Amino acid sequence: MMGRIWNAYRAELTKAFRRKFSFAGPVLVVLVVLSALAARPVTRDGMGDYAFVAYATPLALNLVGLLFLLTYCAALVSSELAAGTICLALTRPLRRHEFVAAKLMLGMTMAVILTGVVAAAAWVAALALGDLIGVSYGGEVLYTNIEMFQAYALGALLGLLPQFAAVAFAVMVSSLTRSAGAAIGCTVAFWVLIDAVKHPLRFAPYVFSTYLETPWQVFADRCIGLDSAWLPDALYVAATSAGFFIIFAGISIIALRRRDLRA
Going residue by residue through the chain, which has 263 residues, state the pLDDT in tens, using 9 for 90 and above: 677 888 888 888 888 888 888 999 999 999 999 999 998 888 877 677 899 999 999 999 999 999 999 999 998 888 766 655 655 565 567 788 888 999 999 999 999 999 999 999 999 999 999 888 888 877 788 899 999 999 999 999 999 999 999 999 999 999 998 888 899 999 999 999 999 999 999 999 999 999 999 999 999 999 988 888 999 999 999 999 999 999 999 999 998 888 766 65
- Number of separate domains in the chain: 1
Neighbour tally for 25: CB within 10 Å: 21
Distance, CA of 131 to CA of 125 (rounded, Å): 10
| Alpha carbon 38 to chain centroid, angstroms | 24
Q: Per the domain annotation, does 28 fall within a domain? A: yes
Domain encompassing residue 225: 2-258
Distance, CA of 223 to CA of 33 (rounded, Å): 18
Q: Please write down the long-range contacts of 89-96, taking CB distance under 8 Å and 24 or more positions apart.
A: 89/8, 89/11, 90/261, 92/4, 92/7, 92/8, 93/4, 94/4, 94/8, 95/1, 95/4, 96/253, 96/256, 96/257
Residue 135 pairs with which residues in a beta bridge?
Answer: 143
Distance, CA of 164 to CA of 103 (rounded, Å): 12
Q: Per the domain annotation, does 263 fall within a domain? A: no
- Give the single-character DSSP code of 143: E
Q: Per the domain annotation, does 200 fall within a domain? A: yes
Residues 6+ positions from 127 with CB-CB distance below 8 Å: none
